[in-house]
Structure 1
Amino acid sequence: MVALLTILGVAVAVFVGFNIGGSSTGVAFGPAVGSRLVRKPTAATLFLVFGFLGAWTVGRNVIATMSSSIVPAIQFTPVASVVVLFFTGASLLISNLYGVPASTSMTAVGAIVGLGLASGTLNRALMFVIVSAWIVAPLLCLGVGVGVGRYIYPYLDRYVAFTTFSLHFLQLDRSGTIPRPYVNPNASPQDIVGSLLVVVIACYMAFSAGASNAANAVAPLVGAGGPLSVSQGVLVAVFAFGLGGFTIARRTLETVGDEITELPILASLIVSVVGATVITVLSYFGIPASLAVSTTSMIIGLGWGRASRAATLSELLTPTSERPDFEVATGALVTSRTEEAPASPTIGDIARTEAPPERRDGIPDVPAVGAEGPADLDENSLFNPAAAKRIATMWVLTPSLAVAASYPVFVFL
């Protein structure tokens, strides 16, 4: 019976990792694949390599927290491990059905909390730290996004360009006996630098995803009495990530940007760097946290900060009759009434294979804060408020349901 439960637990862990790999590969490498900088198999391979590095190094700290610190490792019996993984997998299913990025980390922790409450072994002090991090991290990303969007992004958008190539960035010359790689002749030196930056940041995103998500797939199976060692657990998780990356990740690009954002590649790179850094730091300290929550908070902050350039801080705090219609909203990364078209293709352009807006010659001046008109929120809106409400609801609902549903199960067991 124990052997059967072990096999079932590993199978459920692979299922969870499979779904994580499928979604995370597309999120990390969507801009790179859409811009034809790398092919889909190359993106899956790079995600596998850097996800493994993140899981094997920083990810061990998160695995230790979730496998033995929130509740004692002895509580993870074969049955309890399967139940925790079941609720983690169920959260992925719910998020896929509703089309929102529900947090796998938060739901997995919620299921473990249900086990701790039922057994009376929950480490409440640690949970206070974890929940505090869940609150502080999105707020930090939101604040950074507002600052960058209001004061820095307009200047970056004028000087940094990213090109969507009609052919892939690297080509193979097959005229000789040995195929010889060469760079797309349409690529300028600026394109080459920008392209390398896109790929490097995608690899960093993969590292962060591996560090934070390996524990979600295998933590209940690791530790005292568990069938897997930490190293074995990492290998199982990364194997499952690879399965998802080479299969279902191919579909992720088709839905990127459909509801949440029309996000320029430059903005997506800023979001990736900040979100991945926050999660990597938390993972280093062994705190399980959501990459989806942090990156989405950063997107909201960028849009809000960008739109707020239409008014000075004093005008934002003290509305006047001169600006009766002004409203701070998350909606101005793509375009506004008084600015040039965006320099880079958006993620939506890539998803729909549309041509990006044409860059005008020269680098226009950036209007001062308060000098711009309000963002045109009816067209090219960055953020969909209805989608935001649904996402925020799922962020709170899925871990809460995991606790509420797992508690009676563990009491019965």
Structure 2
Amino acid sequence: MTITILAFIIALFFAMNIGASGAAASMGIAYGAGAVRKRQAALWISGIGVFLGAMIGGGEVVKTIGSGIIPTSILNVHIVVIILGASAISLFIANIAGIPLSTSEVTVGSIVGVGVAFQALFTDKLLVIVLYWLIIPIAAFFLAFLIGELLKKAETKLRWLKQQKWARLLTALVILTGFLEAFSAGMNNVANSVGPLVGAGLLSVSSGTFLGGLFVAIGAICLGSRVIETNGKKITEFSLLQGSCVSGLGASLVIGASLFGIPVPQTQITTCSIIGIGLSEKGRAIFRKSVILKLMKVWVVSPVFSLVISYSLVKIFLDFDLYSVTVVLCVFLATLGSVSLMKHARQKQSDPRRSRDHVKSIVGGRGRKREPAAWRDFS
């Protein structure tokens, strides 16, 4: 009984975090552009949208997360705790490290890690999901670029939209597309928190979408203030028309994937749409920004990171294998060491003058003794 309560607590806490990050961000464009002036009103709109999305169309993705990747025969309450725990740990560590991870990719990665540990995995369904992860963000990029080019060519003919009497129309359009983006988040992302519970038979699909949608909405309304503030300030460079195109395009693609029961990374889709619009506005200079490299890292790191954690938890607590645990631990330590060395190398490359001055201050500084070579090597 205790382990079941723990599973529900982790799932609902995970749902609130999904709402605080992804769902709240859906109204970032509308809030940042001034279409919705009060932050709390924007959060309420996103909360209502995500709840309705979960209730109306979240069932198919819940089924995929619950039973489409690994067989339900190996799903029990202990496995559910491991899947949700690995997802939560991955997001927690990523937040500390400042790495934005996709909740869909993290959850799928955790489920795959369990499947690998028990050698029970529906690889055909997994390949379809990964294929969608590649195709949909790329499609978002090209479609956004095309829309941006069309808006530029039609700019002279659309000057009437800049008149004050049409401002309300554009404002309503941005709010509507933001609501649709929240709706799509409810259809797709709520399954990440309750899908394992449904797969283990602890909840029905309808109960799971209701409970998950409710707590994702609560997370968006109560905990999404900082996220929507950050996203709103970053999106202010877009016009109302461009912002509505980004939100509407992302929402359409995510809703389409949800109808087929495919969990997709909404963050990457929105980012690729923004890059596509940026390419039409600023040209190839947009590719010089670090956001492209960060996007690629998120694609690779999100599922692999949670996969390793869930696999390790299974091997430690349920199916102990000393060799597997040792290998995973060594890989983890080697990864941390590599990251540390890369950061140290970047710091030296970014500020070589500081490094030379630091050496001079140690070697020949006034009033200081010359330190041994071994000490200088570790400074």
Q: Scaled by the length of structure 1, what TM-score is found?
A: 0.70
Aligned-pair distance for 1:145? 2.0
C-alpha contact 2:65 2:191 (8 A) present in aligned 1: yes
Aligned-pair CA distance for 1:30: 2.0
C-alpha distance after superposition, 1:57-106 (max 9, x if no partner): 32100000110111112322111101111122223324433445421101
CA distance in 1 between counterparts of 2:227 and 2:292 reads 19
User: 1:7 is matched with which residue?
Assistant: 5
Is the CA contact (8 Å cut-off) linking 1:63 and 1:215 kept in structure 2? yes
CA offset digits 1:150-169 (Å, max 9, x no partner): 33345359737999xxxxxx
Partner of 2:173: 197
Distance of 1:160 and 1:78 partners within structure 2: 59
Rounded Cα–Cα distance in structure 1 between residues aligned with 2:267 and 2:249: 12
1:23 aligns with 2:32: no
Counting aligned pairs with the same residue, the percent is 32
Q: 1:207 offset after TM fit, Å? A: 0.7
> Once the two structures are superposed, what CA deviation does each residue of 1:377-413 show, in whole Å capped at 9, x if it has no partner?
xxxxxx7722332232122112111112222322441
Give 5+ residue unaligned stretches, structure 2: 319-379
For 1:320-364, what per-residue CA distance to the aligned partner results, in whole angstroms no more than 9, with x for missing partners?
Answer: xxxxxxxx222xxxxxxxxxxxxxxxxxxxxxxxxxxxxxxxxxx
Q: Secondary structure at the match of 1:287?
A: coil
1:309-328 Cα distance to aligned partner (Å, 9 max, x none): xxxxxxxxxxxxxxxxxxx2
**Correspondences of 1:13-92 after superposition (within 5 Å):** 13-34=11-32, 35=34, 37=36, 39-92=38-91
Judge conservation of contact 2:109–2:307 (CA < 8 Å) in 1: yes
Q: What is the CA–CA distance in structure 2 between the aligned matches of 1:260 and 1:114, rounded to whole Å?
A: 36
SS at match of 1:57: helix
Aligned partners of 1:77 and 1:66: how far apart in 2? 14
Distance 1:36 1:268, change over 3 A: closer
Using the TM superposition, give the Cα deviation of residue 46 of structure 1 relative to its aligned residue in structure 2, in angstroms: 2.4
- Alpha-carbon deviation of 1:299? 1.1
Range with bigger deviation, 213-222 or 384-393:
384-393
> In 1, Cα distance between the equivalents of 2:313 and 2:152?
49
Q: Distance in 1 between matches of 2:249 and 2:40?
A: 26
Number of corresponding residues: 316
SS of 2:285's equivalent in the other structure is coil
Q: Is the 8 A contact 1:70 1:126 kept in 2?
A: yes
Question: 1:82/1:162 Cα in 2 relative to 1: closer, same or farther (>3 Å)?
Answer: farther
Task: Flag the 1:249–1:114 CA change in 2: closer, same or farther, 3 A.
Answer: same
Task: Please name the residue that 1:219 is paired with.
Answer: 195
Tell me how far apart the structure 2 counterparts of residues 389 and 36 of structure 1 sit (CA, whole Å).
31
Q: Distance in 1 between matches of 2:228 and 2:156?
A: 23
Q: Which residue of 1 aligns with 2:358?
A: none
DSSP-derived class of the 1:227 partner:
coil
CA 1:78/1:24 → structure 2, altered by over 3 Å: closer, same or farther?
Answer: same
1:257/1:50 Cα in 2 relative to 1: closer, same or farther (>3 Å)? closer
Q: Write 1 or 2 for the structure with the bigger share of helix.
A: 2
Does structure 1 residue 277 correspond to structure 2 residue 233? Answer: no
* Number of the residue aligned with 2:220: 245
Match for 1:119: what amino acid?
Answer: F
Query: Deviation of residue 27 (structure 1)?
Result: 1.6
Q: In the superposition, relative to structure 1, how do residues 229 and 14 fare at CA in structure 2: closer, same or farther (>3 Å)?
A: same
Shift of 1:255: 1.7
Q: In structure 1, what is the Cα distance between the partners aligned to 2:28 and 2:121?
A: 39
**Is the Cα contact below 8 Å between 2:90 and 2:305 reproduced in 1?**
no
Q: Is the 8 A contact 1:119 1:411 kept in 2?
A: no
2:296 partner amino acid? A
Structure 1 residues not aligned, in runs of 5+: 164-186, 309-327, 331-382
Q: Partner residue of 1:209?
A: 185
**Structure-2 change in CA distance of 1:386 and 1:114 (3 Å):** same
